[in-house]
Structure 1
């Protein structure tokens, strides 16, 4: 592994260098060391560290501040390292999610000398695992001043298009209770699995909302993702659990989404097992409009949850903007067109300079 990254080099080369440093969630120390050392040696930014999260910022007294954030970790490697460049396409674990975005951030940190806004760069750990381990959440708890700004740009893959806000997400367990009995005397028991049939019929008939906010269309989702139950092959089951995943538009709060689920499954025991609020687009904010103008095109809704929601909860407008097709994230075929990496660097440079 190189001692330092060449931050001012072509961001495509920088992406390849980052990809070639394994950084599966929980094992980000090497890449965090490399990022920290490179920023300290090659920029005049204030640099600090929390665990395996590296933070850097300017303090130029500008009237506004833009926060750029990207996670350093990847999902487990799947025979897709080291990186390789073929016909203008860079392949490898993390090229999409999200070392292309990290490379753009590092390149800008080293090459923008006179930004219009003060800048904060956050390279954080453990995004791909349980939310309680997320490095950005740790910074929010321990160093909240580092998250303050007028706009947050999370450089998650968005195909080089501004994705506004994000959906909220909720998982619930729908539970039925029964009475055990011998199958030969099944009338003496109550079959909890059979009792789940009506809940599944309600899901099958459910029509998800489509909600337009600031010109962005959010498509909700509601589906069963897991079902379990049963004791043994010769016992009437006395419990069954249906896990339901609900993606809701950001015009609903988590409390409203929970109430909606409880109404849908009225008569059943419903337990919320995971929830994260969505984020409204915030496209009317002046700094956001400047970014949209620099990027051209039309912003679209983010169909999924990202860490923009953490910034939105702090009252900041936040968008997703980065290279790579999010549909390729977490796949063995992860790859990103090099022109998208260059495009995102050019757009953000135009916006920030």
Structure 2
């Protein structure tokens, strides 16, 4: 395929039987639906005039299909919005962990994933916004590092299927942090975090949140779906968060391995994916074919576009869900 920046591979499910059954029960993923969807998405990318180049390896496309439970039309919209936002904002490109600011924030442990999975096999991501100095660093630094961490994790197929747990330590976060983003920026970040990033957020636990920040958190929760809202929980301390297996967390949070060791382990994991993350910059869309609102990240703007490249494509691709039901019955 002419637009492919990666090899168009023939996918074979190589994960455990447990994960195969989980993907089928939770994501509606079977061999038939997966093969059919991968071909449909690849054909759509190739025929979409707005997309100049994109990854077409199965693992990359499956992260979107799995996050959208194999709804092809919703996946199309998600991929196009993702490609557009990557190119519209500089902080989504050149995700190099060796950039001085990124290196400093990683060493501080602003955000990292713990080495062990939780009791459900999910990766646990710890974010410590209190170590992010709002007077020293820009909001683009924060977003770039989040993008770097999430992109690293999304390369793992097990993570795509099992999802993620987020733990947010709000120690030291107070009113000055409210100045990092304008209300408009905050709204678009929150909405795109749920709708554009192909991540299955299973639990979000925040603790030690200052009263001045709780009001902002409540505002943010009003912008997400009820499904995601129900997975967010606030606690006065981590000790009171019984939903978390603290044994897999850093020593400072009740586990056995010091946080500094976990941070170093995470940096090694990130380094192994660096070349892939940097090569993602080869993906391109034609920016002049999108409205200013779409380029700024307005969720509603891309919905107004026909994600298929022509009326014929639209009829063909947007009818795939019916075909999926038939495939599953057969």
Same fold (TM over 0.5): no
Could you say which structure has the higher strand fraction? 1
Could you say which structure has the higher helix fraction? 2
Rg larger in structure? 1
TM tier, smaller: under 0.3
Per the normalisation by structure 2, the TM-score is 0.27
